[in-house]
Amino acid sequence: MRSLIFFSLSVLLALYSCKKDEEIVCDPIVNTAPVYQSFSEGSYWTYQNVRVESDGTETIESAVDSIVVAGDTLINGLEYTVFEGTSWPFQDNEWGIIWILREENGELLDEQGNIIMSCCNFTDTLNTVEYPSGEEIFATATYMMSNEIPEITVPGGTFAGIELVGTFTILNEPEGPDNPRYTSRYYAQGIGQIRDTWFFAGNTEVHYEKRLLDYHIGY
């Protein structure tokens, strides 16, 4: 899921309020920041894959992705949770590791320590990814949280979500309708990712969405 074609992926904040209609205080000192990803054993998620044309026409792909909590691992002395499953159309749709994540102070971090989501920081760029072509960087993707707290409806239900916005910019090309391009990923509190958009860099007429079909949160 860390491919160029998929844009479908720790600042200590004390006494900082999460952006919600009803204020939720994130207090890392007492570890009360809301968690937007389940790490519980027995948790699983299934996702529908949808092709969306530039005119809004949608086609549901036959491939359905499944992701499960597979266990824990230690990286640099820190405990991470391993998520396994499928991620159409990547990895030849074979079962494998999808995410390696940990939660810290209301933020999700990947195995390299990059912040990939925050419930509290709505002002800073969380992560920047550079995409090389030969010896040059031809594109960058930057990720920030949106200030809006939308209500998102997917096949698996309706959720109050927080949104991670990705901005993909091809360098040395003029700005225009297709440069930069944007992605969005929504998380629901205590559940995890409920909708994610991604695209092929060479196709500006189509994007794809992964939408939550079903889930179970273990305890």
Ordered per-residue pLDDT tens for the chain, 219 residues = 334 333 343 332 332 334 444 444 454 444 456 789 999 999 999 999 999 999 999 999 999 999 999 999 999 999 999 999 999 998 777 899 999 999 998 899 999 999 999 998 999 999 999 999 888 999 999 999 998 888 999 999 999 989 999 999 999 888 888 899 999 999 999 899 999 999 998 899 999 999 999 999 998
* Cβ(20)–Cβ(172) below 8 Å: no
What is the distance of C-alpha 169 from the center of its chain?
18
Q: What is the pLDDT of residue 22?
A: 43
What is the distance of C-alpha 170 from the center of its chain?
21
Q: What is the pLDDT of residue 8?
A: 40
- Stated as kind and residue range, the H or E segment containing 18 is strand 16-18
Q: What is the pLDDT of residue 9?
A: 35
Q: What is the pLDDT of residue 92?
A: 77
Q: What is the pLDDT of residue 32?
A: 58
Q: What is the pLDDT of residue 33?
A: 65
Return all residues near 29 (Cβ < 8 A) that are at least 6 apart: 14, 15
pTM of the prediction? 0.81
Return all residues near 176 (Cβ < 8 A) that are at least 6 apart: none
- Biggest alpha carbon–alpha carbon distance for the chain: 50
Query: Helix (H, G, I), strand (E, B), or coil: what is residue 217?
Result: coil
Strand partners, 127: 143
Q: What is the pLDDT of residue 155?
A: 97
